[in-house]
């Protein structure tokens, strides 16, 4: 991730501050940090000394983060910090219940002795921002996705209390669950004959023959 961030900074060097632009212009590399290094692969990894590793993916299903967790999870001296939510069914979500052991990718069972810390972090809008957006746009339907199931349901219930259910519908579907939305629209019809002699009252039943022109 450090290498990726450095690549972005070099690409958008014109948006950096003056010191960074000057260093780049004179051939000095401002992205060579004293204590931050990129890890190309786990084969080049040496964990003989204390360190902090930022590894992906955050769900710990596979990849470098899963490899390191399985390697370190049995040692009480180690710790895991998980920022943001985790999807139900993933190892990251399972770890929130602090299990005593987990099954590795190879099928073996290993003890989980390290400390596990969850940090609530999200780059998305919070309750206040979401409520203000709904109030400004007045959508007919609001579908909650990309979040923890319980958190989404709690947010939907809190938002639903502020709006008339006939005006705004809040939905929290499961993954891959289809959602059907109804969009009632008004249709204008021209009337002739006795039906047009008096203005009908609101809600009163009418008897007439409806003709469609060009399927409209």
Catalytic residues: 124
**Helix pair 149-160, 127-137: axis angle to 10 deg:** 50
Nearest to 147 by CA among 113, 164, 180, 122: 122
Longest pairwise C-alpha distance within the chain: 94
DSSP state of 12: T
Other beta carbons within 10 Å of 184: 5
In three-state secondary structure terms, 115 is strand
Phi-psi region of 106 (alpha: psi -120 to 50; beta: other; left: phi over 0): alpha
């Amino acid at each position: 991730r450090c290498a990726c961030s450095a690549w972005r900074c070099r690409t958008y060097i014109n948006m950096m501050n003056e010191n960074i632009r000057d260093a780049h212009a004179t051939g000095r590399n401002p992205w060579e940090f004293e204590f931050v290094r990129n890890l190309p692969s786990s084969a080049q990894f040496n964990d003989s000394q204390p360190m902090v590793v930022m590894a992906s993916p955050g769900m710990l299903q596979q990849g470098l983060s899963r490899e390191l967790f399985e390697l370190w999870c049995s040692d009480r001296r180690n710790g895991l910090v998980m920022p943001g939510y985790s999807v139900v069914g993933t190892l990251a979500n399972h770890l929130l219940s602090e299990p005593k052991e987990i099954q590795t990718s190879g099928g073996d069972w290993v003890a989980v002795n390290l400390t596990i810390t969850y940090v609530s972090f999200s780059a998305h809008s919070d309750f206040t921002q979401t409520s203000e957006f709904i109030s400004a746009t007045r959508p007919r339907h609001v579908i909650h996705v990309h979040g923890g199931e319980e958190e989404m349901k709690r947010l939907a219930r809190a938002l639903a209390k502020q709006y008339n259910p006939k005006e705004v519908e809040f939905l929290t579907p499961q993954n891959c669950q289809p959602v059907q939305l109804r969009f009632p629209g008004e249709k204008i019809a021209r009337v002739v004959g006795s039906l047009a002699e008096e203005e009908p009252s609101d809600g009163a039943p009418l008897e007439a023959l409806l003709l469609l022109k060009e399927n409209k």
